[in-house]
Chains A and B, each alone.
Chain A
Amino acid sequence: MRHFTASPLHAYPHGRENGGIHPDELEELFAEPTWSVESLLPPSTHAPDAPQVTSQQLHHLLRLSALPPPETLEQEQKMLDTLAAQLHFVGKIQEVDTTDVKPLRAIRDETAAAEETQTITIDSIKGALQKEKVIGHHYKRIQRDTAPVDAKNVEDWDVLGSAERKSGKYFVVESERPQE
């Protein structure tokens, strides 16, 4: 709850009781920029400050990415240069000491209450358990209720509907026979 009663201690003619600065101070406040985003760009005079990626590593990364290898040496050099420039650009993250910082992997509710509601307990799988029954006397085993489940909304899907090339109920992929 904030209160807005007048106070005699105004620093400025239109001063605010709960503080802050006056707009006339803004010019001076902004006179000195705090940093330069251009500092992230690789220097034009010498090689970017980034780990060296070799030609062999580049080909490996392209395989991992399922992308075609470069067709010429010039193309390969261009790819290496781009990667080096990108790695220089992102290299600024190394400047910060992050000891004991917990990585932020996703924006989600991290409260204890949320964790509790999302915890899977025996209650959450009760429905599934009720469809099982134990049979047998000497060799006790579990039998599942085999009554068909209505899954039309998820199974009524034309799997091949969006495929460009198909044959009967199969997708078609053409591969060259590997050389003997």
Chain B
Amino acid sequence: MSLIKHAKTYLLNQSNYKHLNAFNSLVEPSVLLARSGISESDRAEEIGSNDVYDKPIAIKDNICTKDLKTTASSGILKDFVSPYDATVVKLLQDDGAVVVGKTNMDEFGMGSHSTHSHFGPVKLQRYEGEEVSAGGSSGGSALAVATSQCWAALGTDTGGSVRLPAAYTGIVGFKPSYGLLSRWGVIAYANSLDTVGILGKNVKDVEAIFDKLNVYDPQDPTSLPRSTRARLLDPHPKRPDSLRIGIPLDYNIDTLHPTVRKSWIRRLRELWNRGHTLHPVRLPTTQQALSAYYVLAPAEASSNLAKYDGVRFGSRAEGIDGAPGRVLFAKTRGQGFGPEVQRRILLGAFSLSAQAIDNYFIQAQKIRRLVQHDFNGVFARPNPLFDHDGTTSSKKRKGVDILVCPTAPSLPPSLSEVETQDPIHSYMNDVFTVPASLAGLPAISVPSGESHDLPSGTSCNSVGIQIIGQYGDDKLVLDAAKNL
């Protein structure tokens, strides 16, 4: 498939689906059309085996681009233009990909429905007149892919922000192991959890992008060093045909939607039919993981967002900045940040305050360690981030290769329901995605493959099945997803 054939379709969809609010900004159509004017013979030379050459890719609006504004869907950055491109954007452009636009999101990534945006909510519409959540925070990226306004998209995933919208919109969303993809030029929300993620129509496209971006970046201090990357390479590249599949029983919560549970069982049965084996496992700290996440992420956010004062960059409130007895930048921050961002900053300031830091922030970091222990306890492959003596690995041969579970407990709620909900109600949607984020594990959401009926009489697929692997087992997770 080449741009010349598809540029017009993407452009048409961009105008047809404008009301769904997937994009904060788009490149001029002429950019796409000009690229499609390059002759096929010139093109053939460049393409070779390059899978992303000429492909229109959407970029979440918290990833810096110098040609388009980077707003993170926040009022405080509504006119911000970055002086440089993020490493992930540069890598894709160097390989000939075309950035088509910047996608709408929850402000700074804080939300699960892409409704907390300065530019209005992202809307998923599966039939005429419907308005449901596209998931968040990378809802714009997911919707842009699902409605063929681009070929694939980059998002960011801090606690499920790529996987949840992928599930709701019926596409593939991949969060790689923490530290593999560069965060340089990606606006930090909770830096110890933030990862760049990839959204596409199928696993093959997602993997093509992952392969381009999976390189060490000296500009990102959390980029996994080359020496560690070398160790991650599978020492036994030939995998067994039969995988040991873990079923995490702690993901069977009482509010799991019956449709989701049914899809989960059906997928497990299919895997078994193909010769894989099924093994129930327990990950007990799952029950505290969500709470730990909502301590850690807001705490890191309160620190990461301290730099937004409207002075050196970003938008300022009108008039005099300070008032006697007030913090100089409070007015700008009060006007520039949306309510959910302010709520999380405040919660973060509390967990980091002298009276609470031990019982909240440090305790949550300890829970995070226990979540990592849980995963290490069930996977056959030892975690490559730690030293292992020979005895542990032979003892653990009984472990599983991957875990298979739902991506979200629910189906997409209507936007009116989201609006009237208590803000902490939507935190519960992240219950299945947060544990892998806390442990930094690779996780992918793929459509369940089963359509369910809608009130309109039509049907759709808004259930995602999640595959989680041991740290560094990104390729195994992608391969397993291809077979699902």
Interface residues, chain A, with chain B CB atoms under 8 Å away:
1-2, 4, 14, 16, 18-23, 26-27, 29-30, 33-38, 40-41, 51, 53, 61-69, 79, 82-83, 85-87, 89-96, 98, 101-114, 117-118, 157-159, 161-165, 171, 173-176, 178-179
Contacts and interface: CB of A to CB of B under 8 A. Distances in A.
A5 to B, nearest CB: 12
B424 interface: yes
Interface in B281-332: 285, 287-288, 290-292, 294-295, 302, 306, 309-316, 319-324, 326-331
Contact of A40 (B291, B337, B372): B291
B372 A104 contact: yes
B347 A83 contact: yes
Nearest to A62: B346
A102 B369 CA distance: 7
Nearest to A26: B265
A19 B327 contact: no
Given A37-B428, A104-B372, A109-B385, A23 B278 contact: yes
18 contacts: A20-B272, A20-B277, A26-B278, A36-B255, A64-B353, A86-B294, A90-B360, A91-B291, A93-B292, A93-B360, A98-B366, A104-B365, A104-B366, A104-B438, A107-B178, A107-B471, A110-B385, A113-B227
Nearest to A96: B288
Contacts, number: 257
A171 B347 contact: no
B365 A110 contact: no
Contacts of B422: 85
A79 B330 contact: no
| Minimum-distance CB pairs A-B, first 9 | A107-B440, A20-B277, A103-B365, A162-B313, A175-B322, A68-B334, A33-B254, A98-B366, A23-B269
A179 B250 CA distance: 59
Interface stretch (B43-51, B111-119, B240-248): B240-248
B365 A83 contact: no
Interface string B252-291: 1111100001001100110011010111100001011011
A14 B273 CA distance: 8
Given A20-B278, A23-B278, A68-B331, A179 B324 contact: yes
Contacts of B323: 176
Nearest to B347: A86
B183 to A, nearest CB: 12
A65 B302 contact: yes
A96 to B, nearest CB: 6
Contact of A66 (B306, B365, B386): B306
B434 to A, nearest CB: 11
B453 interface: no
Contact of B280 (A21, A62, A112): A21
A67 B346 contact: yes
Max count, chain A CB within 10 A of own CB: residue among B244, B264, B279, B287: B287
B316 A106 contact: no
B1 to A, nearest CB: 36
Contact of B249 (A29, A41, A69, A179): A29
Given A20-B277, A96-B285, A107 B192 contact: yes
Contact of B253 (A36, A66, A68): A36
Contact of B227 (A14, A30, A114): A114
Given A33-B254, A34-B252, A67-B330, A111 B386 contact: yes
Interface string B331-349: 1011001000011011111
Contact of B321 (A103, A111, A174): A174
Nearest to A91: B291
A89 B424 contact: yes
Contact residue range for chain B? 35 or more
Interface string B347-389: 1111101001001101111111110100000000000011100
A158 B66 CA distance: 14
Interface of B: 80-81, 83, 178-179, 192, 222, 224-225, 227-228, 236, 240-242, 244-245, 247, 249-250, 252-256, 261, 264-265, 268-269, 272-273, 275, 277-280, 285, 287-288, 290-292, 294-295, 302, 306, 309-316, 319-324, 326-331, 333-334, 337, 342-343, 345-351, 353, 356, 359-360, 362-370, 372, 385-387, 409, 422-425, 427-428, 431, 438-440, 471
Nearest to B315: A164
Nearest to A103: B365
A98 B81 CA distance: 45
A175 B328 contact: yes
B350 A53 contact: yes
B288 A92 contact: yes
B83 A109 contact: no
B291 A103 contact: no
A109 B350 contact: no
Contact of B409 (A1, A37, A86, A98): A37
Contacts of A33: 252-254, 256
Contacts of B306: 66
A45 B242 CA distance: 51
A118 B334 CA distance: 41
Nearest to A86: B347
A92 B366 CA distance: 13
B74 to A, nearest CB: 14
A23 B265 contact: yes
A63 B460 CA distance: 48
Given A109-B225, A111-B385, A163-B312, A103 B349 contact: no
Contact of B279 (A20, A82, A95, A105): A20
Given A86-B343, A90-B292, A109-B225, 7 more contacts: A35-B250, A40-B427, A69-B330, A89-B294, A93-B291, A113-B227, A176-B323
